[in-house]
Structures are given as structure tokens and as C-alpha cells.
Amino acid sequence: MRGNIFLIEAVIISVDPEFEEDYDWNDDVYSKGRYWLIEEPYSEIYEDSNYIKILIELPSVRREDIKVKVYGKRIYIVATDREGRDFYKEFTMPFSLKKTQVKAVLKPRTLFILIKKNDE
């Protein structure tokens, strides 16, 4: 099953300086004001008493072409597949996240994200 495809004029996200070094949000597409076609990949979310589990379908995407960003209560996924298609997905959690709570593993066709819930 394929995700939605949507057209956006610009991606505006609050990012911390550490993430800006890894991903340039002001590339030529953004700075020249052109439209950027981004595919929103199919995803599923599961929850149990200790974890939130996210599965994201990312066919033909290599590990080095995926960026997973944790910022506040949000997780951002930006990826490019071997054909040059861009993928973007954003999730908002019910609690603030620490980088140590989030683990991501890429298996064939699927990115698995495991989020340990806060101890309260």
C-alpha cells in the first residue's frame, strides 16, 4: 500500500544546530522557491505499556539516505530513495522525547522506530 503524495512549497521545521549540520533545509529547491514533490510513506503505529512502535515503508532507500530527527515531542523522517524520490514523515508523541529513548533500524523495505515511554 502506498502513502499519500503531497506538494509543498517549502518545508519549515524547527531544527537544532546539530541536525542542521547533517541536513541542509535551505538547498536549491527551497531557496529558489520551486515546488518540491514529497511522498509521504505508508506507516503503522503500535503501542504497548512500555513502547510505541512505528513501521514506515521505505522501499529502495539506503541507510545513509535516511535522517531521523528527534525534537521535543516530534520525530521527523526525511529520506531519498535510489530513484531520487523524496520521502517525509512526521509523528507527534504524547510526551517529550530524549534521543536515548528512540532507536531506529532499517530492514529491507521498512524502517522500524522503537520509542521507550517515559517513566512516570
| Cβ-proximal residues to 79 (8 Å cutoff; 6+ apart), any chain | 41, 58, 61, 65, 66, 67, 86, 87, 88, 111
How many separate domains does the chain show?
1
Each residue's pLDDT, cut to its tens digit, for the chain (120 residues) gives 444 433 333 333 333 445 444 555 455 444 444 445 677 888 999 999 999 999 999 988 888 888 888 888 889 898 988 888 888 899 999 888 888 888 888 888 899 999 998 755
pTM: predicted TM-score of the whole model, two decimal places: 0.66
Query: For residue 105, which amino acid is it?
Result: V
Q: Which helix (H) or strand (E) holds 36?
A: strand 36-39
Instruction: Write the CATH number for 17.
Output: 2.60.40.790
The residue segments making up the domain with residue 68 are 5-116
3-state DSSP assignment of residue 7: strand
Query: How open is the CA angle 62-87-11, to the nearest 5 degrees?
Result: 130
